[in-house]
Amino acid sequence: MTPELDYTAARFWMDLIQSAGLVLLGIYTWWVNRAKVTNGKFRDLETRMAKVESRSGCAQHSDFDKRIRLVQESVSAINGRMEGVGHSLNIIQEYLMTKGK
């Protein structure tokens, strides 16, 4: 005559442990998926940045460099002309001050 064992307490604790395990598994799954998404976004961002950095080479800037050189040449030419005009004005001023004497 073996006594009847009451398994209700054991079942309660087993259900509690199982529920806690499921909650922990859910949190772990959420955490891992979040980390994957974050890492994927950073990987995509790094890829886009690498593409932008590789595109910003001489191909896009060569046109600007040519335009800047043309402006520099034009400014130099204007500077030379203004020096000539200034010299001519000095001669005219000297003539007018001395009234041709």
Confidence of residue 101 (pLDDT cuts 50, 70, 90): low
| Cα–Cα distance, 29 to 20 (Å, whole number) | 14
pLDDT tens track for 45-90: 999 988 887 776 556 677 788 888 999 999 999 998 999 999 999 9
In this prediction, residues 20-28 reach a mean pLDDT of 97
- Beta-strand (E) ranges in the chain? none
Type of residue found at 15:
D
Dist. CA 72–CA 74, nearest whole Å: 5
Domain boundaries along the sequence of the chain: 30-98
User: Given phi > 0 = left and psi -120 to 50 = alpha, else beta, which region is 100?
Assistant: left
pTM of the model: 0.44
Which strand (E) or helix (H) includes residue 16? helix 8-55
Half-sphere exposure of 44 (CA within 13 A, CB side): 6
